[in-house]
Structure formats: C-alpha cells, structure tokens
C-alpha cells in the first residue's frame, strides 16, 4: 500500500513539475525582441464596431505598452505603424509586429446592466459594454506568426463604455506581453 502511495505522489510531482517547465519555457517566447510595431486592428465589415475602432485600439495598445515599459523595460522602441511621431525602428533590432482583428464590440445596454445588478456581491461593479480582439505576434524578419491569442475585456459600472473596455483590452495585451517576455 505504501508503495502505491509513493508511486502516486511521485507521478503527481512529475506531472506538476513537468507541466511547470513547459509553461515557463512557453512564457519567454518574446524575450529577444527589443522593438515593437503595433498595426491598426482590422474591423470586419458588418461589425457593430465603428471604422475607427481599429486605429483607436492600436493607439490604446501603444499607450499601455509605453506605460508599462517604464516599469518593466519591455522594449527599446515602441511605434504605432503610421503614427505621427515618425520614429523609425533602428536597424539591427529584433522587431515584433502586433496586429489583430476586432472580434466583438458591444455597446452598453440598460437591460444587461440591470440584470447584472442582481448578481450578489459583484453586480454593482459590472458594466455591460465589452470588447474582444484577436491578436497576432509576428516576427518582422521572417514574417512568421509567433503567437496568437484572443483577449476579451468588459467595462466597469462607473465607466460603462466600449472605449473603456478597449482601454482595459490594451492593458490586458501588455500584461500578456509581460508574461510572454518572461518578466
């Protein structure tokens, strides 16, 4: 009986530690990149999102990356493609391109907000606007997609707008980048 327990503990420990090494290895896939270019997100035709949502989201992403860059030193160069700054990426830097597509753009509704207000404990803090984007991280030199992810965020009660949900999406994006850089 003791041998079975020992084997079970050994097996569980092996799975946990083996899984942990895979997770930590996958997290640092962006560690070598020292420049980033953010492209405007594509807005599919027929989407409820306005045409300007793609440009607006790219600007919010650049803002959030710059904001977190002060603390975590993620990139040497952060540029929005076609931005006003005209800052070029120095040659010799490994460049990451972030582009994406707007998947969901939901304006707030009174009915949804009232329905959420009945959720005990959290109902008063939930908004009804949401934003979802599909992001692709691309190596500029090879053109290969390194990683893809969907990020969905919603607004909060005091800021129940899709624009605030987009702000939160930009922050979720940079937190994901921090994770993928291994910081």
What pLDDT shows up at residue 124? Answer: 53
CA dihedral of residues 143, 64, 28, 136 (deg, nearest 10): -30
What is the secondary structure of 77-90 as a DSSP string? EEEETT-TT-PPPP
What pLDDT shows up at residue 158? Answer: 74
What range does the domain containing 122 cover?
A: 31-181
Task: Please identify every stretch of the chain with a pLDDT value under 50, giving residue numbers as ranges.
Answer: 21-25
What pLDDT shows up at residue 21? Answer: 47
Q: What is the pTM (predicted TM-score) of this model? A: 0.78
65-71: long-range contacts at Cβ-Cβ below 8 A with a sequence spacing of 24 or more? 65/36, 65/38, 65/170, 65/173, 65/174, 65/177, 67/174, 68/174, 68/175, 68/178
Shared-domain flag, residues 122 and 165: yes
What pLDDT shows up at residue 82? Answer: 83
**3-state SS class at 22:** helix
161, containing H or E segment: none
Shared-domain flag, residues 100 and 124: yes
Shared-domain flag, residues 22 and 97: no
Shared-domain flag, residues 23 and 102: no
Shared-domain flag, residues 1 and 35: no
**128 Cβ neighbours under 8 A, 6+ residues apart:** 106, 108, 109, 112, 113, 116, 154, 155, 160
Shared-domain flag, residues 136 and 50: yes
pLDDT digits (tens, 9 = 90+) for 102-119: 999 999 877 655 665 666
Number of domains in the chain: 2
């Amino acid at each position: 009986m003791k041998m079975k327990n020992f084997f079970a503990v050994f097996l569980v420990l092996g799975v946990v530690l083996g899984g942990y090494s895979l997770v930590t290895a996958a997290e640092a896939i962006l560690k070598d990149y020292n420049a980033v270019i953010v492209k405007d997100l594509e807005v599919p035709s027929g989407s409820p999102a306005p045409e300007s949502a793609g440009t607006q989201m790219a600007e919010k992403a650049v803002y959030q990356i710059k904001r977190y860059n002060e603390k975590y030193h993620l990139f040497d160069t952060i540029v929005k493609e076609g931005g006003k700054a005209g800052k070029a990426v120095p040659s010799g830097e490994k460049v990451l391109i972030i582009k994406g597509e707007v998947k969901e753009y939901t304006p707030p509704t009174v009915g949804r907000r009232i329905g959420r207000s009945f959720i005990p404990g959290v109902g008063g803090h939930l908004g009804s606007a949401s934003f979802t984007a599909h992001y692709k991280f691309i190596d500029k030199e090879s053109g290969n997609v390194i990683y893809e992810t969907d990020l969905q965020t919603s607004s909060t009660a005091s800021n129940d707008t899709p624009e605030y949900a987009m702000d939160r999406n930009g922050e979720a994006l940079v937190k994901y980048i921090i994770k993928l850089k291994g910081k």
